[in-house]
Structure 1
Amino acid sequence: MVHTPFPLQHSITQPADAVNLRVSEIFFSLQGETSRAGLPTVFVRLTGCPLRCGYCDTGYAFYGGKSLSISTILAEVARYVPHYVTVTGGEPLAQKECLVLLRLLCDAGYSVSLETSGALDISRVDARVSRILDIKTPGSGEVEKNQWSNLDHLTRHDEVKFVLCDEADYEWAVEAIRERKLDLICPILFSPVYDKLDPATLAEWVLRDRLPVRVQIQLHKLLWGEGPGR
């Protein structure tokens, strides 16, 4: 069953053993993207997503998974004794209880990041979390799902990501940066779709246009190839 967005009406201060989330996987690997690339990180991948981006490489997380209490999730994360934790999906915010998990991970002293599509409201995410907001381009097939009001909640602690399929996506992203002055809000990431847009070509475009963005490639795929987990 695909989780869809619904109102965040309950308190996010419930005890960890009283709140369950549907989890696709929890694993320890190197962060492959963002400014944290290369850092040993525990990933908590939640199940479900209301979007269907054409290049999605985690479709296996749309369905299934296991229902786990947040206390169980916290215990599994702690087993790796990490410094960095990333909550991802699917779309993690499609489960309202994700807010509880994020808060408790921060309370536990981890450096926490959230990978979210930008299609759901981020305003109630704990301010200690680094929010990685993926703005959907036309090539994703989900550009109409962008919730642009999310930009009002971003700080320099967060990051905006554009996943680019081709030159048309690149030009669209450049226009979005200039029109919305995104470089004044937070760091910007440009990521080429794996096996679709040549990273060297993207790098040349960025150098040519002198863009204030970080070009990133998926380190985990360079190391281990495609596939679930890492």
Structure 2
Amino acid sequence: MSSDTQAVESRLRITEIFYSLQGESSFVGLPTVFIRLTGCPLRCGYCDTAYAFSGGEWMQISEIVRQIKQYKTTTVCVTGGEPLAQRCSGDLLKQLCDEGYQVSIETSGSIDISSVDSRVVKVMDIKTPGSGEESKNRYENIQHLTQKDEVKFVLCDREDYEWSKEVINKYKLSEKAQILFSPVHDGVVPADLADWIISDQLNVRFQFQLHKFLWDNEPGR
């Protein structure tokens, strides 16, 4: 392998690197460095990061690591777009773990997660019918989840809620990972979703997207 090829393989296209509070998952509220990779093969109807579909800046993994070291936190989230759409994202995840960071990745569930470093917490979506991308779910990924990983359902309406319950039962998800139910911002009334979960006694974690309430989803927040 030539040195030129090695240089290409050690870089990623980055939309932004920023420091904020984690807005969701079991890490909610923790000061976190976010590394947002550019590009996504999905087009969910509620997507709030369409600005990451294209553009970005090519960066060497070593430069990415240097940038995040300026922040006084050990928690790092690799997100997108869809971070696994870039071939070298696995190299970044491994490097971050080797550096001693507590690393999570936010992924759409449409791309194979089997090669993700076992030290990384995988926060994986299962796309509901309301997303418009239900057909892209890669259910084979479920076998690669562990109890430290998390499965997220973003719910647009009551139909999405009932559909998600069926998926949880079909794949015995409660035995495989933590489950997150998140209402679409300005969609499902959060109190209604909370009532449904309590009424059905579901073993799931209800979550808001904290950053949207604090900063109205400003890029880089």
Q: 2:39 maps to what in 1?
A: 48
Deviations 1:46-86 (A, max 9, x none): 00000000000000000100000001100011111321000
Q: Distance in 1 between matches of 2:63 and 2:164?
A: 40
Q: 2:145 maps to what in 1?
A: 154
Q: Distance in 1 between matches of 2:40 and 2:159?
A: 26
Consecutive aligned runs of 4 or more in structure 1 exceeding 3 Å deviation: 14-18
Q: 2:193 maps to what in 1?
A: 202
TM-score w.r.t. length of structure 2? 0.96
- Is 1:79–2:70 an aligned residue pair? yes
Q: 1:66 maps to what in 2?
A: 57
C-alpha displacement of 1:16: 8.4
Q: Tell me, what secondary structure is at the counterpart of 1:79?
A: coil
Tell me: CA distance 1:15–1:106, structure 2 relative to 1, closer, same or farther (3 Å): farther
C-alpha displacement of 1:24: 0.3
Q: Distance in 1 between matches of 2:89 and 2:70?
A: 20
Q: 1:136 maps to what in 2?
A: 127
Q: 2:13 maps to what in 1?
A: 22
Q: Distance in 2 between matches of 1:17 and 1:143?
A: 33
Q: Tell me, what secondary structure is at the counterpart of 1:73?
A: helix
- Written as runs of structure 1 = structure 2, the 5 A alignment for 1:169-180 is 169-180=160-171
Q: CA RMSD in A?
A: 1.5
AA at the equivalent of 1:157: K
Q: Distance in 2 between matches of 1:141 and 1:151?
A: 21
* Structure 1 runs not aligned, ≥5 long: 1-9
- Is 1:181–2:172 an aligned residue pair? yes
* Structure 2 runs not aligned, ≥5 long: none
Q: Tell me, what secondary structure is at the counterpart of 1:42?
A: strand
Which of residues 81, 99, 115 in structure 1 aligns to 2:106?
115
Give the conservation status (yes or no) of the 8 Å contact 2:37–2:83: yes
C-alpha displacement of 1:36: 0.5
- Written as runs of structure 1 = structure 2, the 5 A alignment for 1:219-230 is 219-230=210-221
Give the conservation status (yes or no) of the 8 Å contact 1:16–1:70: no
Which of residues 85, 91, 101 in structure 1 aligns to 2:82?
91
Q: Tell me, what secondary structure is at the counterpart of 1:113?
A: strand
Q: Distance in 2 between matches of 1:184 and 1:22?
A: 36
C-alpha displacement of 1:229: 1.6
Identity %: 59
Q: Tell me, what secondary structure is at the counterpart of 2:163?
A: helix
TM-score w.r.t. length of structure 1? 0.92
Tell me: CA distance 1:164–1:210, structure 2 relative to 1, closer, same or farther (3 Å): same
Q: Distance in 1 between matches of 2:7 and 2:179?
A: 34
Deviations 1:84-119 (A, max 9, x none): 000000000000100000000000000000000000
Tell me: CA distance 1:23–1:45, structure 2 relative to 1, closer, same or farther (3 Å): same
Deviations 1:117-160 (A, max 9, x none): 00000000000000001000000000000000000000001000
Q: Distance in 2 between matches of 1:155 and 1:16?
A: 33
Give the conservation status (yes or no) of the 8 Å contact 2:183–2:189: yes
AA at the equivalent of 1:64: G
